[in-house]
Amino acid sequence: MRLLLLACLRAHTGNATTAARIQSHLHAAGHICVLKDAFMYESPTEIANLTSTDKFDAALAIHLYKGGRLLQGSRIPFGIIFGGTDVNEDIKCKEKHQVMGAVLEKARFAVAFTVEMKELAAAEWPDARKKIYVQSQGIKTTPSETFDWYRFLQNADIPTDTDSVHLFLLVCGLRRVKDPLYLVEAFSDWHRKDPSVHLGIIGPAVDPLYTSEVKERVKRAPGVHVLQELPQQELHAALRRSLALVNSSVCEGMSAAILEAMDLEIPVLARNIPGNAAIIQHKETGLLFSTPQEFIALSKSLMNDPIMEKEIITRAKEYVKKHHSWEGERKTYQNLVQRLQ
């Protein structure tokens, strides 16, 4: 089959990496899967013209609203993959809710990353329950072997004259829902007392205006740095040298960065929100915090208790291997697209 996959394809974002992973799964089954950025199109008519002109047999979209709205009235069969903002944010808007329901009604199938996400969707659109499948994100990490850690620190203006630098890496697209400023003040106060600790905020400038706000705040916060975004393999290598991955989002669907850190055997400190709590068991596979002060306290305990750190990363690695199999994800999508024939 010739398949169209609509997604928000901003480089180095979770959506882009998920889309590329699904594309590779479908290519491996002998299909042709063409990625298109949903932000490049404004109306279903444009997509209808595209699918007709380029002779697509079927389509997929990531995000029920952002991608799915473009498939309204589609002449070809399609499937939908839920995004976190679908059931956490867009569902609150009456207009978006109506569009999402209409798209879900016509979709041959829908994929939710978690049982919780499926239940939230099924509560809104009960008739769609039977067509919603749960498939966690599949994880495969490939750290660069040539990554220059010391140059990375130098570029971030982080001291490189000692191995005692403790870098916490907050990986996110710079937009309000990811709330990268949540920990800045508390972390900077900690850095003043312990200059070895640094917080690096790294990711694409998804919202340029908000990115400027983040950079201005960070200028006045010693020990906190906005870092240049990196290709995935280099980001994995940087994570492997960091003390911990940090997630401070207001809401998440399923954070690939958290799962990648677990796979890389790096401890995770994440804000205690439903999307994060769905994949992290506190003090078992990671650490969940509800306030900046709790984040600092948990970070200190992580630094001072190597036995706890080792136990957490061992259990987290086992969790990812068991529940986020890349091979399992591949099989699911290859089976589901058969429903589009």
Residue environment code for 310-332, b if the CB has 16+ CB neighbours within 10 A, otherwise e: eebbebbbebbeeebbbeebbeb
* pLDDT for res 164: 82
CB atoms within 10 A of CB 129: 13
Whether residue 71 contacts residue 100, with contact meaning beta carbons closer than 8 Å, is answered with: no
Residue environment code for 78-103, b if the CB has 16+ CB neighbours within 10 A, otherwise e: bbbbbbbbbbbebbeeeebbebbbeb
* pLDDT for res 116: 86
> How would you write the pLDDT of the chain (341 residues) with one tens digit per residue?
999 999 988 876 778 889 999 999 999 999 999 999 999 999 999 999 999 999 999 999 999 999 999 999 899 999 999 987 788 788 888 999 999 999 999 999 999 998 888 999 999 999 999 999 999 999 999 999 999 999 999 988 888 765 689 999 999 999 999 999 999 999 999 999 999 999 999 999 989 999 999 999 999 999 999 998 999 999 999 999 999 999 999 988 789 899 999 999 999 999 999 889 989 999 999 999 999 999 999 999 999 999 999 999 999 999 999 999 999 999 999 999 999 98
* pLDDT for res 253: 78
Whether residue 122 contacts residue 110, with contact meaning beta carbons closer than 8 Å, is answered with: no
Report which secondary-structure segment, H or E, holds 225.
strand 224-227
Query: CA-to-CA distance for 162 and 336, rounded, in angstroms?
Result: 51
Q: Which residues pair with 287 in a beta bridge?
A: 269
Cβ neighbours for 174, distance < 8 A, ≥ 6 positions apart:
180, 201, 203, 204, 205, 206, 207, 210, 211, 214
* pLDDT for res 12: 66
- Residue tagged 């990625």 (tokens): 35
| Structural domains in the chain, sorted by start | 2-138+325-340 (3.40.50.2000), 149-323 (3.40.50.2000)
